[in-house]
Structure 1
Amino acid sequence: MVNPLEIKVERNKHKKTKPPQDQLGFGVHFTDHMFVMDYAQEKGWYHPRIVPYQPIVLDPAAKVFHYGQTIFEGLKAYRTGDGRTLLFRPQKNIERMNRSNERLSVPQLDEALFLSALQQLIAADQDWIPSGAGTSLYIRPFVIATQPALGVSPSEHYQFIIIMSPVGAYYPEGINPVKIFVEAEYVRAVIGGVGEAKTAGNYAAGLKAQEAAKELGYSQVLWLDGVHRTYIEEVGSMNVFFKINGTVLTPALNGSILDGITRSSMIQLLKHLDIPIEERMISIEELYEAGRNGTLEEAFGTGTAAVISPIGELSWKGEKLVIQDGQTGELSKKLYDTLTGIQKGSLADPFGWMVEVSETPSGVL
């Protein structure tokens, strides 16, 4: 096992020019450093290091290109009004990444080392953390199979890498509802597959449907289950919630739905606010019937990027369902303001979600 204190830091001598905070976008700009660690079957994970941000050099036969062994995560760090740096529930991302690793036959990562690498990398690039309203530092850990060998079997070599990107406000002009297309032709995942793992193939499988939806004027796709094509699962980048007749419903985790960190936080927050919440199977027919009879009060998605994304319209088999007159609902706004307030340190954190990051990286070369 690698000692977290053994992470070495090589300072980037050629610092990048930072973009203006009102021109950050999402995942466009990247910080000065990255974390890298290698794996060999005979050695385990070794040589953890923070180095200048740079291209990855891989053999053309590396297994990641041919057999799709790759895992990733996404989380954020925030700059508070009093200058502290906070991470939102990093332990949950670490635990989920190891569950994804297990599903794709990738070696487990040491959780203490993972957390230390996150904290030291953020400390090395702390001047990249934006402080404007709605801004944050997006963090992308990922693992790729690097063994140069053709043949369908788990790789014997891997790299674990963490890169970071300052990102702007998801809603620069205020929280706005999105229009969602309910996919009835393509299938993203089935129970027993890799739908609950955060792996690249899940997202590639959704691109065709997303392209078709955008041509029709819809921003994202809502997936139904792959067997019955009836039960609601998730949006391409979000878990989903529906408020029907005073109770909030969300699809139960069934093995083909991602166990979202924001999803679990939202469930905990709803219970804290004494708002009824149920995790269960929800059919698209049930949802549309609630829309027709007026009991569907709100709908929203949850995810790291947007936190909460109100849903203003659904389209399923040609039938449009407008929700909350296409406006942001009261509950969606309250949940968004509460969670982002906790994340930015302006509201109390009764759940112990936020982890403060030290400003001093260790192991500097």
Structure 2
Amino acid sequence: MSELEIIRSTHKKQKPEDDQLVFGTQFTDHMFIMDYTPERGWHYPRITPYEPIALEPASTVFHYGQMVFEGLKAYRTKEDKILLFRPEKNFQRLNRSSERLGIPAIDEEKALLYLEELLRIDREWVPSLDGTALYIRPFIIATDPNLTPKPSNTYKFMIILSPVGSYYEEGIHPVGIYVEEQFTRAVKGGTGMAKTAGNYSAAYKAQEKAVNKGQSQVLWLDAVEKKYIEEVGSMNVFFKIDGEVITPELSGSILEGVTRMTTIELLKKWDIPVTERKISIDEIAKAYQEGKLEEAFGTGTAAVISPIGELLWNDQKMVINDRITGPIASKLYEKLTGIQTGVEEDQYNWTIEVI
């Protein structure tokens, strides 16, 4: 990687204590930046001190939201190794998101090498306490100073790092979910399958409603019929009904989660029936009334596995498994976090050691 320039920080920050970490508010000493122009393509990769960046006020990203991002984690093992979990899947998805937003693709293999070098430099920032990790945020922003609503010609690809604790205050304990029927997150043919800023800011009003009703997150229904379940605000979602695990099929408006994919693969390896299909909120309510709704949980990089203890729909609370984490959610959490942190043997070659 002779093309990679490294400028080390001369002012090291004070690292927070592992037991004081919150999600996404503190950042490491360094960051990665690379530029794109039509003439040179992606060029000038560099690791620099973490600092503010200068952009034109007319930059496309500010006015038309042309940007994509990813989220993954680095984990410290008991043997003091640093592991990444399926990072190639995140860079593949970043390129899928970029294609939908009209952003030039990056070289996925090189991007992973750049990330590994950044992690080697900021290795000491990876926390070691159980339940903690170093959150990794790759993102691409459009930088043309142009108010014409069209794709940018220039971009910046950046990676920043943040030591984190649990995403939810509840941790692995079951959370409450509010079923949203008024607002829409995404529609087939839109940008729901891409990881882009507008998908998240469009959810804030519904999230505010959920919090006001005492719930942690929003469960989105499809935009057309307001009937079929799509995903939770920061997670894909699974339901265990009468022995079968069901998750909404990828329809073009649902994010293809790496943890979702891994969960499906594990369930199949364990011979637990798992199906990807359309599932309606009415079917969930009927299963609940018949005593067949046995478990519900979300999957995502931030929370890994997040059990769902109750659903609030039409002012009716569906309490799931007495608000106790179910056996499948527990097994998945232990297996995934075990592999991610090196406690369990990685039989599937999902982890990469940063040497």
User: Could you tell me which residue of structure 2 aligns to residue 271 of structure 1?
Assistant: 268
Query: Is it true that 1:215 corresponds to 2:212 in the alignment?
Result: yes
Instruction: Please state how far the C-alpha of 1:169 moved relative to its aligned partner.
Output: 3.6
Instruction: Please state how far the C-alpha of 1:132 moved relative to its aligned partner.
Output: 0.8
User: Could you tell me which residue of structure 2 aligns to residue 199 of structure 1?
Assistant: 196
Query: Is it true that 1:90 corresponds to 2:87 in the alignment?
Result: yes
Match of 2:283, SS state, is: helix
- Give the distance between the partners of 2:275 and 2:39, measured in 1 at CA: 47
1:165 to 154, 157, 162: 162
Cα pair 1:232 1:282 within 8 Å, conserved: yes
TM-score by length of 2: 0.98
User: Structure 1 counterpart of 2:283, which letter?
Assistant: E
Instruction: Please state how far the C-alpha of 1:174 moved relative to its aligned partner.
Output: 5.6
1:328 to 325, 328, 332: 325
- Give the distance between the partners of 2:142 and 2:260, measured in 1 at CA: 29
User: Could you tell me which residue of structure 2 aligns to residue 9 of structure 1?
Assistant: 6
User: Could you tell me which residue of structure 2 aligns to residue 79 of structure 1?
Assistant: 76
Cα pair distance change 1:227/1:335, threshold 3 Å: same
User: Could you tell me which residue of structure 2 aligns to residue 313 of structure 1?
Assistant: 310
Say what the alpha-carbon RMSD is for the aligned residues. Answer: 1.0
Match of 1:6, SS state, is: coil
Match of 1:27, SS state, is: coil
Match of 1:132, SS state, is: coil
- Give the distance between the partners of 1:322 and 1:23, measured in 2 at CA: 32
Which blocks of at least 5 consecutive residues in structure 2 are unaligned? none
Match of 2:159, SS state, is: strand
User: Structure 1 counterpart of 2:72, which letter?
Assistant: L
- Give the distance between the partners of 1:77 and 1:5, measured in 2 at CA: 24
Residues 154-193 of structure 1: CA deviation (Å, up to 9, x unaligned): 1011000000001124467762100000001001100000
Cα pair 1:189 1:226 within 8 Å, conserved: yes
User: Could you tell me which residue of structure 1 aligns to residue 255 of structure 2?
Assistant: 258
TM-score by length of 1: 0.96
User: Could you tell me which residue of structure 1 aligns to residue 128 of structure 2?
Assistant: 131
Cα pair 1:182 1:316 within 8 Å, conserved: yes
Residues 92-138 of structure 1: CA deviation (Å, up to 9, x unaligned): 00000000000000000011111111100000100001011111100
Of stretches 235-244 and 326-335 in structure 1, the one that deviates more from structure 2 is 326-335
* 1:1-365 matched pairs, under 5 angstroms: 4-170=1-167, 175-358=172-355
- Give the distance between the partners of 1:129 and 1:224, measured in 2 at CA: 37
User: Structure 1 counterpart of 2:97, which letter?
Assistant: S
Instruction: Please state how far the C-alpha of 1:60 moved relative to its aligned partner.
Output: 0.5
Instruction: Please state how far the C-alpha of 1:5 moved relative to its aligned partner.
Output: 3.5
Residues 236-285 of structure 1: CA deviation (Å, up to 9, x unaligned): 00000000011100000010000000000000111111111000000100
Which blocks of at least 5 consecutive residues in structure 1 are unaligned? 359-365
Match of 1:120, SS state, is: helix
- Give the distance between the partners of 1:186 and 1:123, measured in 2 at CA: 43
- Give the distance between the partners of 1:24 and 1:57, measured in 2 at CA: 28
Match of 2:156, SS state, is: strand
Instruction: Please state how far the C-alpha of 1:56 moved relative to its aligned partner.
Output: 1.2
- Give the distance between the partners of 1:66 and 1:152, measured in 2 at CA: 8
- Give the distance between the partners of 2:326 and 2:152, measured in 1 at CA: 48
Cα pair distance change 1:256/1:171, threshold 3 Å: closer
- Give the distance between the partners of 1:136 and 1:259, measured in 2 at CA: 22
Cα pair distance change 1:174/1:44, threshold 3 Å: closer
User: Structure 2 counterpart of 1:287, which letter?
Assistant: I
Match of 2:88, SS state, is: helix
- Give the distance between the partners of 1:219 and 1:205, measured in 2 at CA: 17
Cα pair 1:134 1:170 within 8 Å, conserved: no
Cα pair distance change 1:173/1:195, threshold 3 Å: closer
Aligned length: 355
Match of 1:266, SS state, is: helix
Match of 1:349, SS state, is: coil
- Give the distance between the partners of 2:332 and 2:91, measured in 1 at CA: 25
- Give the distance between the partners of 1:162 and 1:225, measured in 2 at CA: 32
- Give the distance between the partners of 1:301 and 1:60, measured in 2 at CA: 38
